[in-house]
């Protein structure tokens, strides 16, 4: 049985091996991923992001446990959930591994839950590429929900939001005033906004401030007139065509608000599918992945063709200020390209 | 007088216009930047990063005000300082502008201070490229210290740390426990670590935890044996060859610890220059900028040569799962490349 067949048959060891090959960009792994690609497209990709200290990992653990329990209590007992914990700010040592161990205590032993930690591999764009590959493999392996958890609030998170169908942004009381919240801008990529640690005094203010900020930031979502009576069909149509970002309160450590958050995630999936937004997001995601691949492949092939040291020579000229970076690159390119 | 000459002569209006052209990647701006490039290399680039809510902007304002006052009180009264406030998580609306107005109240009117806000422009890598260009222009325009302030703790911040000579990471008490601090990993890019809001109860614990974390994370910096007596020359040499990341306490709103932080920044510059690390960082910075330019330029030129719709056709095939993203890109490339 090939590795691909074993992954499709649900072999977890085979899956783990494949994910490592994808992360290391081994050719066999990338070929296997291509063979698996026709089996992708069914998973609901849920991005979860927020600054350190918001209790994000705890909330993700609770979401997974609750989703699994819900399944056992009447729903689909075989709901398969994967968590990809991405730490773009940790290119150096094994921070993710430590976090991973803590979360493993809660979720270990459930064969329908799979957890994978990923740290940045140094190369710009390398993490985004590896994450996309890992998510595709998990999708093909039959996971119904794939949570992509990232630390931080930077460009990497915006990129990952583009990867997911549904983006959940987590904050906590006292993480900054309203100006900071606007500045963080990341609110604007949120499909669902969560104030965790909602039992801390002042949480009400945070909830209010976020709701006000959202209303200010997205005036186009504001609906000034009441729906006309007896116009139910239009009203229902509108419901599918627009999504009001909910601002939800949770206390992850106590499990409070977790069921409601799962419901909101599920509502958002339904909205995406009903409105056609699902396909739009898929297309955007694939476009961005293909563009990244194109740039990387072109650059790698180009540098392979260069005589040894050509790039380094140009670099030295920039270092001594006899060429600007742009002039140096154009000189290399036009030496070959014309 | 050309725009380049005016920028070199200290014309602020000309500088602002040039920066806009660089941000918009206008050819004239990029050509002017190349003409200015021989005048770069003197500025001390100081990256300042930290999560929202740490009081980062307030601290940067205080640093600038204090540096200016120090100048007037005896040092170099003409120390010119630029602040580039980068908001990688705000690709959508004018969050940076709001923060900018608030900071302008404190610093407006000083001709030796120049502030520029930048928000992400959507395109991956676009912000890093634009920031590099803006910093080069400010360097050529004669600014002695250029502070590059970023929000967040993600890949973008790691990239910006690569841009700066000296990276200051700001945190605050209660922003997360030690595991989070390790996970954030960004500590490891810090040349100077600051706990702002050090008057909050519990700040001592944060300071202790960070010092312990740093010691754990960087065992190679731990010096187990005492220096031998009478061996002053070796001792001094060692001082230049290694840098112990200081963990400093500040209360930006009260100006506490600001003078000490400025001293640490200055010490780090001296260390970089004495140890040769300055040139190593310059080379790394230039390499990363050139690699980015190479990838962008190759991709742009390649797509220009493609028949209309070729990329889109491939994208549709990926969307319907008849090709994987990698297969699609290789099919486009090998159609032309071989």
Across the interface, of A52, A297, A328, the residue whose CB is closest to B183 is A52
Whole-angstrom Cα distance, residue A243 to residue A285?
20
- Token output for A147: 């949570």
**Complex confidence, ipTM:** 0.77
**Six-digit token pair at A216?**
């200010």
How many CB atoms within 10 Å of residue A242? Answer: 13
All residues of chain B having their beta carbon less than 8 Å from the beta carbon of residue A33 are 324, 326
**What are the tens digits of pLDDT across the range B10-51?**
999 999 999 999 988 889 999 999 999 999 999 999 999 877
Edge-to-edge order in the sheet of strand A145-151: A113-119, A81-87, A145-151, A44-50, A166-171, A192-195, A247-249
Which residues fall within 8 angstroms of residue B258, CB to CB, at 6 or more apart?
Answer: B59, B62, B63, B66, B250, B252
Q: Is the pLDDT at B338 greater than 50, yes or no?
A: no
The pLDDT profile of chain A, 338 residues, written as one tens digit per residue, is 899 999 999 999 999 999 999 988 889 999 999 999 999 999 999 999 877 678 888 899 999 999 988 776 766 668 899 999 876 554 433 334 444 545 555 666 788 889 888 765 544 456 777 888 999 999 999 999 999 987 655 555 666 666 799 999 888 886 654 344 444 456 667 899 999 999 988 888 888 878 877 776 654 443 434 444 444 433 444 445 689 899 999 999 999 999 999 999 999 999 999 999 999 999 988 988 898 889 888 988 888 888 878 899 999 999 999 999 999 999 998 875 44
B12 closest CA partner among B146, B137, B133, B118: B137
pLDDT of residue A336: 59
Show Cβ contacts of residue B222 under 8 Å, excluding neighbours closer than 6 positions. Answer: B215
Among B208, B50, B173, B29, smallest CA distance to A51 is for B50
Rounded CA separation B227/B233 (Å): 11
pLDDT category at B284 given cuts 50, 70, 90 is confident
A149: part of which helix (H) or strand (E)?
Answer: strand A145-151
* Residue among A137, A237, A256 at smallest CA distance from A198: A256
pLDDT score, position B261: 97
Distance, in Å, from the CA atom of B7 to the CA atom of A313, rounded to the nearest integer, reads 30
Residue A183 CA to chain centroid, in angstroms?
A: 21
Backbone angles phi, psi at B330, to 5 degrees: -65, -35
By C-alpha distance, the chain A residue nearest B336 is A298
pLDDT at B122: 46
Residues 77-136 of A with CB under 8 A from B: 87-93, 95-96, 98-99, 102, 119-120, 124-125, 127, 132, 136
Q: Do A152 and B157 touch (CB under 8 A)?
A: yes
Residue B283 and residue B287: Cα distance in Å, rounded?
A: 6
How far is CA A164 from its chain centroid?
5
Q: What is the CATH number of domain B40-220+236-285?
A: 3.40.50.300
- Per-residue pLDDT tens digits for B212-235: 777 766 544 434 344 444 444 334
- The pTM (predicted TM-score) of the whole model is 0.72
Structure tokens at A41: 């497209």
Closest by CA to A48, choosing from A182, A248, A190, A176, is: A190
Q: Structural domain boundaries of chain B?
A: 1-38, 40-220+236-285, 306-337
Sort out which chain A residues have CB atoms less than 8 A from B282's CB and list them. 319
Q: How many CB atoms lie within 10 A of CB A104?
A: 13
**Domain A40-219+240-295, CATH number (from 3.40.50.720, 3.40.50.300, 2.40.30.10, 3.30.479.30):** 3.40.50.300
Nearest by CB to A127, from B132, B155, B279: name it.
B155
DSSP per position, A197-252? STTSTTHHHHHHHHHHHHHHH-GGG---SPPPTT-HHHHHHHHHH-----EEE-BG
Residue B309 contacts A where some CB pair is shorter than 8 Å: no
List CB contacts (< 8 A) between B41 and chain A: 321
């Amino acid at each position: 049985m090939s590795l691909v067949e074993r992954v499709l048959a649900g072999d977890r060891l085979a899956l783990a091996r494949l994910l490592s090959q994808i992360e290391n960009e081994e050719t066999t792994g990338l070929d296997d991923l291509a063979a698996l690609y026709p089996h992708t497209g069914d998973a609901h990709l849920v991005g979860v992001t927020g600054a350190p200290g918001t209790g994000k990992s705890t909330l993700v653990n609770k979401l997974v446990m609750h989703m699994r329990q819900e399944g056992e209590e009447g729903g689909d007992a075989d709901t398969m959930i994967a968590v990809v914990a991405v730490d773009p700010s940790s290119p150096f040592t094994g921070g993710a591994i430590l976090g991973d161990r803590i979360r493993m205590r809660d979720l270990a032993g459930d064969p329908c839950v799979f957890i994978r930690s990923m740290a940045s591999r140094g190369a710009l764009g390398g993490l985004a590429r590896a994450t996309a590959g890992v998510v595709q493999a998990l999708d093909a392996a039959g996971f119904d929900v794939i949570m992509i958890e990232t630390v931080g609030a930077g460009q990497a998170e915006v990129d990952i939001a583009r990867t997911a169908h549904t983006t959940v942004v987590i904050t906590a009381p006292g993480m900054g005033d309203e100006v900071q919240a606007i500045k963080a801008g990341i609110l604007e990529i949120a499909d669902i906004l969560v104030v965790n640690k909602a039992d801390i005094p002042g949480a009400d203010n945070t909830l209010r401030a976020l709701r006000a900020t959202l209303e200010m930031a997205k005036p186009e979502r504001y609906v000034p007139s009441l729906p006309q009576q007896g116009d139910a069909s239009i009203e229902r149509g509108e419901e599918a065509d627009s999504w009001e970002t909910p601002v939800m309160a949770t206390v992850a450590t106590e499990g409070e608000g977790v069921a409601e958050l799962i419901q909101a995630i599920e509502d958002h999936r339904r909205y995406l599918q009903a409105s056609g937004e699902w396909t739009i997001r898929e297309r955007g995601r694939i476009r961005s992945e293909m563009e990244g691949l194109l740039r990387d492949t072109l650059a790698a092939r180009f540098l392979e063709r260069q005589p040894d040291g050509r790039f380094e020579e140009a670099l030295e000229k920039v270092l001594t200020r006899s060429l600007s970076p742009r002039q140096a690159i154009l000189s290399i390119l036009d030496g070959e390209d014309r």
